[in-house]
Structure 1
Amino acid sequence: MIIIGITGTLGAGKGTIVDYLIRERGFVHFSVRGFISREIEKRGMPVNRDSMVIVANELRAAHSPSYIVDCLFEEARLTGKNCVIESIRTPGEVLSLKAKGSFYLFAVDADPYTRYTRITTRNSETDRIDYETFRANEAREMTSEDPNHQNLYRCIKMADFVFSNDQTIADLEAQVAAVLDQICK
């Protein structure tokens, strides 16, 4: 059993990698976004990027920087199957998951305008924003000295494998397949 964590910039292709892992490799999916969305709904808040950041940071501050992924890791471990946890956003999450063993962190990135175009096409509840807001949201999540806050830059630097998603879905899937052939021997 292996567990793969996915990190990366906004709209870079994290979901595309997850879809491939589920469809082609039989991985079970666990979503940080889903975990946080359930908590937001319990609190009666609107499900948007601001609520996601606020609730995630509050949960991490109340419990630990790795609280959310630790909960998801335990659920994944109980399946006994290969699993993917999407979306890793703090260095504390990375450190905790790596300490558990049989864990690999995948990171994905792409050109900012390409990523913005993708999110407007995806049109989820957190994606209905203009380009300036998109860039401001990403800047807010890229770095932080607070261990309970998002630091995508550092997470990407901590990744075992980094994928560029500036081409086609098939190209990204081929990159992922090559890595899986190495680690799933």
Structure 2
Amino acid sequence: MNAGEVTLIGLTGKLGAGKDTVADYLVKKKNFKKYGCSDILKEKLKEEGKEASIENLIELGNSLREKKGPGVLAEMLLEKISQNGDMAAVIVGLRHPAEVKTLKESGAKILSIESPQELRFERIQKRGEERDKISLEEFKKQEEIQLQGRGNSANIIQCIELADQEIDNGNGWEHLYEQVERAC
């Protein structure tokens, strides 16, 4: 993929930080096409007849990274974007540093979406997705697993450190969208 032809934005951040909110804004206001690392995993789980629980998504993501390399999800999404001929794409849910590096090598700008833990937990409860029907304890446990994984596991802390820019999503829509406009 020639970076000069396509505008790529990658989004990383903790569970419930607002990555999809930022992506949806880019779709609506700037005509981006939205892709998600978890979409690839959900498709594969569906093919296997398995539930798209957070545990299954993590397990499959780790397995694919082990078999095909740590940047495999980003590589698969870049291929899909190229096949679809999209001129502007936002990729949501970067969880492994190799995914961030793969996208950066393709010319992507990486944004880290940040917000306080209590607010993030409230948000996932409101999403209404089956995978989000968890207790605060389970939320904290899943977050800890994703934040500092090793090897082929998710390591969101490293992804955040590799981001080009931080977007604060703890102070309302207007503040969020102003930052996104400046960043993109």
Q: TM-score, normalised by structure 2?
A: 0.93
State which of 92, 97, 100 in structure 2 corresponds to 1:86.
92
Aligned residues: 178
Give the residue type in structure 1 aligned to 2:93: S
SS where residue 58 of structure 2 aligns?
helix
Confirm or deny that 1:27 pairs with 2:32. Answer: yes
State which of 93, 96, 103 in structure 2 corresponds to 1:97.
103
CA contact (8 A) 1:14 1:87 kept: yes
Residue 126 of structure 1 corresponds to which residue in structure 2?
131
The CA RMSD measured in Å over matched residues stands at: 1.0
Map 1:5-24 → 2, pairs under 5 A = 5-24=10-29
> How much does 1:157 deviate?
0.6
Residue 163 of structure 1 corresponds to which residue in structure 2?
167
Residues 130-179 of structure 1, C-alpha deviation per residue, up to 9 Å, x if partnerless?
Answer: 10100100000001221x11000000010001111111122111110011
Give the residue type in structure 2 aligned to 1:86: V
Residues 14-72 of structure 1, C-alpha deviation per residue, up to 9 Å, x if partnerless?
Answer: 01000100000000111111111011111121211000000111111111101111010
Give the residue type in structure 2 aligned to 1:113: E
CA contact (8 A) 2:11 2:111 kept: yes
CA contact (8 A) 1:7 1:108 kept: yes
Residue 141 of structure 2 corresponds to which residue in structure 1?
136
Q: Which runs of 5+ in 2 are unaligned?
A: 1-5
Residue 3 of structure 2 corresponds to which residue in structure 1?
none
> How much does 1:99 deviate?
1.5
Confirm or deny that 1:60 pairs with 2:65. Answer: yes
Residue 179 of structure 2 corresponds to which residue in structure 1?
175
Distance 1:47 1:80, change over 3 A: closer
SS where residue 153 of structure 1 aligns?
helix
Which contiguous aligned blocks of 4+ residues in structure 1 show a shift greater than 2 angstroms? none
Residue 112 of structure 1 corresponds to which residue in structure 2?
117
Residue 183 of structure 1 corresponds to which residue in structure 2?
none
SS where residue 132 of structure 2 aligns?
coil
Give the residue type in structure 1 aligned to 2:77: L
Give the residue type in structure 1 aligned to 2:168: S
Confirm or deny that 1:150 pairs with 2:162. Answer: no
Q: How many percent of aligned residue pairs carry the same amino acid? A: 28
2-structure distance, mates of 1:168, 1:3: 25
